[in-house]
Amino acid sequence: MISDPLDAAEAANATRDRARRAMIDGQLRTSGVNSPTVLKRMAEVAREDFVPTASRGFAYMDRAIRLDNGASLPAPVVHGMFLEEADLNGDEHALVVDSGAGYLAELLRPLVAKVTEISVEDALGSGRKGKGADVLMIDGAVEEIPAKLANRLCDGARVITGLATNGVTRLAVGRKGQAGIALMPVQDVGIPQIHAFDKPRGWSF
């Protein structure tokens, strides 16, 4: 008996919908992510569309996913926490340092006035002139934020990122001031580290 392709597609959609709901109820809410706006956006975006084909079956599991470029997409709860901490009002210009998936930028698009998405390599470059961004999100954990990236932000811009210290990663928030970006750790959470943002290693004896 030949199965109906439409029935198969409907079954697959139902499975993904259940997985997305389980992500929201079992991961986000239990981790303190309760903003209706954030939960709605996490429910709307098909995370499976932003991971390699072989990983689509576990796109909503509480784990990071390896991307084809060697980087990793953080677990769903990390993105939920990012959006919750950002407390967006819809007028912001958000700058997203993306590790290759495009998922975080897609989550943000209807929540802000403008999204500028750049790669890790672009973030380490000289940057572009013009009005700075109001919000910076880095889709991974970093040891430091380079001055060239900070220069892309306006004074007082909010920063939401993962912060890596001695191998421990935390959600961190901060603002850009005259002395640079000051970050405050908020909560321990597993976030894939972006080693391009590691601090230079000095001599040890």
203 within a domain of the structure (yes/no):
no
CA 101 to chain centre: 9
Q: What is the pLDDT of residue 6?
A: 56
Number of domain units in the chain:
1
Q: What is the pLDDT of residue 99?
A: 87
205 within a domain of the structure (yes/no):
no
Q: What is the pLDDT of residue 204?
A: 52
Token pair listed for 198: 């590691």
18 within a domain of the structure (yes/no):
yes
Q: Which domain holds residue 148?
A: 5-197
pTM of the full structure: 0.89
41 within a domain of the structure (yes/no):
yes
193 within a domain of the structure (yes/no):
yes
204 within a domain of the structure (yes/no):
no
Q: What is the pLDDT of residue 178?
A: 86
Q: What is the pLDDT of residue 4?
A: 62
51 within a domain of the structure (yes/no):
yes
98 within a domain of the structure (yes/no):
yes
Q: What is the pLDDT of residue 129?
A: 53
- pLDDT per residue as tens, the chain (205 positions): 455 665 766 776 788 889 999 999 999 999 999 999 999 999 999 999 999 999 999 999 999 999 999 999 999 999 999 999 999 999 999 999 998 999 999 999 999 999 999 999 999 986 555 579 999 999 999 999 999 999 999 999 999 999 999 989 999 999 999 888 999 999 999 999 999 999 987 655 4
Whichever domain contains 62, its CATH number is: 3.40.50.150
